[in-house]
Amino acid sequence: MTTRVTIWGELIGLPIRQYYVQAGGIRTRVLEGGDGPALVFIHGTGGHLEAYARNFAGLTPYFRMITYDMVGHGYSEKPDRPYTPDYLAEHLIGLLDALGIERAHLSGESLGGWVAAWAAAHFPERVDRLILNTPGNITNKPDVMQRVKESSLKAVREASYETVRARLEWLFYDKSQVTDELVAIRFRIYTQPGFERAMENIVAVQDWEIRKQYAWSPSWCNKIRARTLLLWTDHDPTGGLDEAELLLQWIPGSRLHVIRDAGHWPQWEKPEEFNEVHRSFLLGE
């Protein structure tokens, strides 16, 4: 019998709470649970905190687990400006300040990995250990940038369950794991008043003239001093293991772990292995 995945089914009975906080002046939605070292998860382009619903049960016994909607995303505030990695990293630091967290482990997926790495390079005193989860298009491939931009904008401008599902399915290796519930949640987010403009600001970094100021490079990756794990998959549509090899060269002392039979969301497709990798790396010597 196939177990049906539901977000509330993953969270039921856990000591969690959803709330809003002012993070650097931005009203920010947060989901938190557990005790122990602070571990902050950062979702990807056009995403939201529900991306980590399948990880709370496995990680809250060990960590103070926090996930949030980045500025401009989900149900957080959406100022009208491009959401570049530096701005998103400053918002992240504002969140740590608001929650009274001096240092935290960071785990970021896709754009969230870019933000986590930028924070580790530019605010090293605030980052303990770092996990970059399918951080995406390290080499700035124009076709990937165009695909992310076009599919994200279409999912908002032509919002329907079909366009939102198509945007999500592109991220998954096992497309059957894109549940009706997950589609419905993202559809509701994407049909908020003003979200089209927010999405334009979200995908601004897919334009090279903006992106080139923040593009992955050894010039800033070499500044990362946090112990770093690169968490890759064998079916990531945004970048292969050749890109992981670049980051291994650019980030001092970094390590690589590959999750098999997963796409861009291993936290959802392979939650048991994803959680175990986090426990082992973050709590190990």
- Tokens for 34? 């557990």
pLDDT at position 271 over 50: yes
Q: What pLDDT is attached to residue 20?
A: 98
Q: Cα–Cα distance between 236 and 44 in angstroms, integer?
A: 13
> What is the pLDDT confidence band of residue 136, given thresholds at 50, 70 and 90?
confident
Q: Cα–Cα distance between 54 and 130 in angstroms, integer?
A: 20
Check: pTM over 0.95? Answer yes or no: yes
Q: What pLDDT is attached to residue 4?
A: 79
Average the pLDDT over 116-133 and give the result: 98
> What is the pLDDT confidence band of residue 3, given thresholds at 50, 70 and 90?
low
Q: Cα–Cα distance between 108 and 139 in angstroms, integer?
A: 18
Nearest to 110 by CA among 275, 250, 259, 231: 231
DSSP one-letter code for 38: E
- Tokens for 207? 């334009």
Average pLDDT of every residue of the chain: 96
Whether domain 7-139+217-283 has CATH 2.40.10.10: the reply is no
Q: Cα–Cα distance between 203 and 199 in angstroms, integer?
A: 6
pLDDT tens digits along 159-169: 999 999 999 99
Q: Cα–Cα distance between 137 and 160 in angstroms, integer?
A: 27
Q: Cα–Cα distance between 76 and 21 in angstroms, integer?
A: 9
DSSP secondary structure of 213-281: TT---HHHHTT--SEEEEEEESS-TT--HHHHHHHHHHSTT-EEEEESS--S-HHHHSHHHHHHHHHHH
pLDDT tens digits along 30-43: 999 999 999 999 99
Average the pLDDT over 259-275 and give the result: 98
Contact 180, 50 (CB under 8 A): no
Average the pLDDT over 13-39 and give the result: 97
> What is the pLDDT confidence band of residue 226, given thresholds at 50, 70 and 90?
very high
pLDDT at position 139 over 50: yes
Contact 282, 39 (CB under 8 A): yes
pLDDT tens digits along 76-110: 999 999 999 999 999 999 999 999 999 999 999 99
pLDDT tens digits along 141-182: 999 999 999 999 999 999 999 999 999 999 999 999 999 999
Domain ranges of the chain: 7-139+217-283
Neighbours of 37 (CB within 10 A): 17
pLDDT at position 1 over 60: no
pLDDT at position 277 over 60: yes
